[in-house]
Amino acid sequence: MSLIKSDEDIKIMREGGKILSQALAEAIKAVRPGVFISELDKIAEASLLAVGAKPSFKGYRGSRNDPPFPTTLCVSVGSEVVHGTADRWVKLKEGDIVGIDIGCEYKGRFTDMAATVPVGKVSKKEEELMRVTRESLLAGVRAARPKGDVRDISRAVEDCVKPYGYGIVTALVGHGVGHAVHEDPHVPNYFSPRAPQVLLKPGMCLAIEPMIALGSGEIKTADDGWTAVTRDGSSAAHFEVTIVITKNGHEILTPMVV
């Protein structure tokens, strides 16, 4: 798989990104107290299939020995960070925050995005967590420029989050995308001088996705074998877009819906 996507690749990803954004928007519109997360999954899957796209998470295996992921969406509630399966018997309730992560394959090209939204009225601290996480995503996107490096994105995300004292989930990172669900390079949400220097070049497509917690940011995997949750039980938020590096900066290929 090439790190640099062709003009045709990017054209298809742009089309797929709009389709993906619409599916996420439809799922978010259905978020309210009393809704089962499986209902959100059905809405999103129907939206993708109706226009010739396919959910890229459903059936995905991290490795040959892993079981296939069972649903179109990753739906993560409260202290769940990411990778919550949407087939669980979970009903949203007033005051929850819910992260919805979705990917699609369209004409053989892949895009990925996510957003965290409130269920009814939520606490002020969780409102701020969502706001800062979204702002950190946009800070990372702004830092993505040709002749820069992936660590510029990492530093921008961390610099946005650090003043608030939130925990950055360091065990999970963003990634390349386009020819597959996950590609090189890794895109961490924190700066490390030991991280490899990966130069940003026109045609590179990246999924930038800060995952931020009210607590420490340390995570563990729940008993279902999929869901990543905060170790201290604190709430977490997750936002993501797919971008392409252009000659003059970047382009968001998955229009944000919140």
Binding site feature residues for substrate: 83, 182
Q: Which helix (H) or strand (E) holds 65?
A: none
Say if residues 253 and 244 touch (Cβ distance below 8 Å): yes
Return d(Cα 19, Cα 104) in angstroms, integer: 8
> Which helix (H) or strand (E) covers residue 81, if one does?
strand 80-82
Closest CA to 22 of 104, 84, 139, 81: 104
Judging by beta carbons within 10 Å of its beta carbon (0-12, 13-18, 19+), is residue 41 exposed, middle or buried? buried
Element (H, E) at 68: none
Please give the radius of gyration of the chain, using alpha carbons only, rounded to the nearest integer: 17
> Burial level of 143, CB count in 10 A (0-12/13-18/19+)?
buried
Distance CA 136, CA 228 (A): 20
- Residues forming the annotated binding site for a divalent metal cation? 101, 112, 175, 209, 240
Q: H or E element: which one contains 10?
A: helix 7-29
Q: Which distant-in-sequence residues (6+ apart) come within 8 Å of 185 by Cβ? A: 3, 150, 175, 176, 196, 198, 206
Query: Distance of CA 140 to CAs 31, 91, 171, 185, 226, Å?
Result: 27, 33, 18, 15, 27
Q: Which residues are annotated as a binding site?
A: 83, 101, 112, 175, 182, 209, 240
